[in-house]
């Protein structure tokens, strides 16, 4: 994998960190009714990564999904790093 590709992914993730964080926190709360608080990391990027981990863990427990990043991709309808302003689908669908 080219370094420029990874740099591009990281750059795009930094741009969409807040909407990703907010969206995946909603997923985490929907999947785990016992979840009360997700501790902030001190950076938007870090908070978004934490949201991926927490939502992925909640999906693993409730749905038996084992890998966090594919869950995050599915929960954002494949638009995790996409250059779009379309909203992510909500966890309450279907």
Is residue 24 situated within a structural domain?
Answer: yes
Low-confidence stretches of the chain (pLDDT < 70) are: 1, 83-94
Is residue 48 situated within a structural domain?
Answer: yes
The number of domains in the chain is: 1
pLDDT tens per residue across span 60-82: 999 887 777 788 888 887 777 77
Report the C-alpha gap between 56 and 50 in whole angstroms: 10
Is residue 17 situated within a structural domain?
Answer: yes
Is residue 30 situated within a structural domain?
Answer: yes
Is residue 66 situated within a structural domain?
Answer: yes
Is residue 35 situated within a structural domain?
Answer: yes
Instruction: Provide the pLDDT for residue 12.
Output: 84
Which of 9, 16, 8 minimizes the C-alpha distance to 24?
Answer: 16
Is residue 89 situated within a structural domain?
Answer: no
Report the C-alpha gap between 50 and 47 in whole angstroms: 5
Instruction: Provide the pLDDT for residue 27.
Output: 92
Nearest-5° Cα angle at 47, 43 to 51: 175
Q: What is the pTM of this model?
A: 0.78
- Taking the CB of residue 80, how many other CB atoms lie within 10 A of it? 22
């Amino acid at each position: 994998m080219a370094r420029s590709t990874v740099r591009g992914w990281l750059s795009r993730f930094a741009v969409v960190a807040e909407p990703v964080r907010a969206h995946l926190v909603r997923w985490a709360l929907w999947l785990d009714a016992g979840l009360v608080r997700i501790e902030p990391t001190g950076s938007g990027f870090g908070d978004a990564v934490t949201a991926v981990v927490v939502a992925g863990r909640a999906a693993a427990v409730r749905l038996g999904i084992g890998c966090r990043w594919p869950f995050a991709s599915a929960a954002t309808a494949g638009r995790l790093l996409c250059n779009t302003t379309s909203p992510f689908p909500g966890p309450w669908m279907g």
